[in-house]
């Protein structure tokens, strides 16, 4: 049920994932996955993706945040095969 996130950048790289998730907020308070390569928060540092990607990611996190508030359980977006973060409604 819960997405199988890598917990460290080392684990992510070993599993061929571009992101990992610690559950620890970044310095700006985003409880978001981090990039395995840079260890940067994916919200603060959307890398050189398109504007479309950034908007989709923000929407995914917004939905995840609302779902977390609603249920009391932490929800985080999933990463699809193309590396996009998605949050089912």
Residues in contact with Zn ion by the rule CB under 5 A: 26, 28, 30, 41, 43-44
Q: Give the span between the Cα atoms of 39 and 69, in whole angstroms.
A: 26
Cα 28 from Cα 44, distance rounded (Å): 8
- Residue 37 or 81: the one with the smaller Cβ distance to Zn ion is 37
- Taking the complex as a whole, how short is the minimal distance between the CB of residue 26 and Zn ion, in angstroms? 4
* Residue 40 Cβ vs Zn ion, minimum distance, rounded to whole Å: 8
Give whichever of 1 and 42 is closer to Zn ion, judged by the CB atom.
42
For the CB of residue 45, give the shortest distance to Zn ion in the complex, in Å: 8
Q: Which is nearer to Zn ion, 26 or 67 (CB)?
A: 26
Q: Where are the beta strands (DSSP E) in the chain?
A: 19-20, 34-35, 78-79, 85-86
Fill in the DSSP letter of residue 36: T
User: In this structure, what token pair is assigned to residue 12?
Assistant: 């992510």
């Amino acid at each position: 049920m819960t997405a199988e996130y890598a917990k460290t950048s080392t684990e992510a790289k070993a599993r061929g994932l571009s992101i990992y998730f610690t559950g620890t907020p970044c310095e700006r308070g985003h409880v978001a996955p981090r990039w395995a390569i840079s260890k940067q928060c994916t919200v603060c540092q959307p890398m050189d993706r398109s504007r479309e990607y950034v908007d989709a990611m923000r929407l995914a996190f917004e939905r995840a945040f609302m779902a977390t508030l609603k249920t009391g359980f932490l929800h985080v977006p999933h990463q699809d095969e193309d590396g996009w973060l998605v949050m089912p409604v």
